[in-house]
Amino acid sequence: MYLTMIGLEVHTHLTSLKTKLFCSCPSDYVGKPPNSNVCPVCLGLPGAIPVFNETALKFALMVGLALGSRISDRITFVRKHYFYPDMSKNYQISQYDGPGTEAVAMGGEVKLRDKKIRIRRINIEEDPAKSIYPTGSMLTSTYTMLDYNRSGVGMLEIVTEPDMSEPREAREFIEKLRSILEHLGVCDGSIEGAIRADANVSVEGGERVEVKNIGSAKDVESAITYEISRQRAAVSQGLGVRRETRHWDSERRVTVPLRTKETDEDYRYFPDPDLPPIQVTASLIEDIKSSMPELPDQRIQRFMAQYGINEYNATVLVMDKGLADFYERVTLHYNNYPKVASLLINDYLRWLNEKDMKISQSKAGPEQVAELLRMLENGTITIKIAKEFLPRMIYEGKSPRELMEATNMTALRDMTILEDIVNQVLAENPEVVKKAKADSKVIHFLVGQVMKKTGKRAEPETVYKLIEEKIARI
Per residue in 130-188, pLDDT (tens digit) is 989 888 887 788 999 999 999 999 999 999 999 999 999 999 999 999 999 999 999 99
Question: What's the burial of 8, exposed, middle or buried (CB within 10 Å: 0-12/13-18/19+)?
Answer: buried
- State residue 206 phi and psi, 5-degree precision: -130, 170
Q: Is the dihedral of CA 346, 351, 356, 358 positive or negative?
A: negative
19 pLDDT band, cuts 50/70/90, is: very high
- Which H or E run includes 254? strand 254-260
Residue-level pLDDT at 264: 64
- Average pLDDT of span 296-302: 98
Q: Is the pTM of this model over 0.85?
A: yes
Distance CA 434, CA 430 (A): 6
**What is the crossing angle of helices 311-319 and 167-184, to 10°?**
70
In CATH, 415-473 is 1.10.10.410: yes
pLDDT at 12 over 80: yes
Strand-strand pairing, 244-249 and 209-214: parallel
Q: Which residues contact 90 (CB under 8 A, 6 or more apart)?
A: 81, 82, 83
Rg of the chain taking only CA atoms, in angstroms:
28
Distance CA 353, CA 369 (A): 17
414 pLDDT tier (thresholds 50, 70, 90): low
pLDDT in tens, 377-408: 988 888 888 998 999 999 999 999 999 888 87
What is the pLDDT at residue 459? 76
pLDDT (tens digit per residue) in 369-378: 999 999 989 8
Question: Taking a C-beta distance cutoff of 8 angstroms, is the pair 464, 418 a contact?
Answer: no
Contacts of 474 (CB under 8 A, 6+ apart): 433, 437
Banded pLDDT at 263 (limits 50, 70, 90): low
pLDDT band at 99; cut points 50, 70, 90: confident
CA distances from 437 to 306, 462, 463, 470 (A): 45, 18, 16, 10
Helix count (H) and strand count (E) of the chain? 17, 17
Strand partners, 132: 145
Say how many C-beta atoms besides its own lie within 10 A of residue 249's C-beta: 15
Report pLDDT for 467.
83
Q: Report whether 341 contacts 317 (CB < 8 A).
A: yes
Range 191-200 average pLDDT: 94
Q: What is the pLDDT of residue 261?
A: 62
Least confident of 119-128, 198-207, 464-473: 464-473
Give yes or no for a contact between 349 and 331, defined as CB atoms under 8 angstroms apart. Answer: no
Neighbours of 4 (CB within 10 A): 19
Residue 225: is its pLDDT beyond 90?
A: yes
Q: What size, in residues, is the chain?
A: 474
Give the residue with greater pLDDT, 474 vs 122.
Answer: 122
- Model confidence pLDDT, tens digit, residues 424-454: 888 889 888 888 888 888 888 988 888 887 7
Strand partners, 89: none
> Is the Cβ–Cβ distance between 242 and 226 less than 8 Å?
no
Mean pLDDT (the chain) is 91
pLDDT of 455: 77
Residues above pLDDT 90, as percent of the chain: 68
Mean pLDDT is lowest, of 125-134, 170-179, 262-271, for 262-271
Residue 145 β-bridge partners:
132
Q: What is the pLDDT of residue 118?
A: 98
Do the Cβ atoms of 162 and 173 come closer than 8 Å?
Answer: no
Rounded Cα distance between 286 and 268, Å, is 35
Give alpha helix (H) positions in 208-334.
217-236, 282-290, 296-307, 311-319, 321-331
Q: Is pLDDT above 90 for 462?
A: no
Contact status, residue 138 vs residue 42, Cβ threshold 8 Å: no
pLDDT in tens, 147-162: 999 999 999 999 999 9
pLDDT band for position 200 (cuts 50, 70, 90)? very high
> Which residues of the chain form CATH 1.10.10.410?
415-473
Q: Is 366 helix (H, G, I), strand (E, B) or coil?
A: helix
265 pLDDT more than 70: no
- Kindly indicate the confidence band of residue 262, based on its pLDDT and cuts at 50, 70 and 90: low
Confidence of residue 277 (pLDDT cuts 50, 70, 90): very high
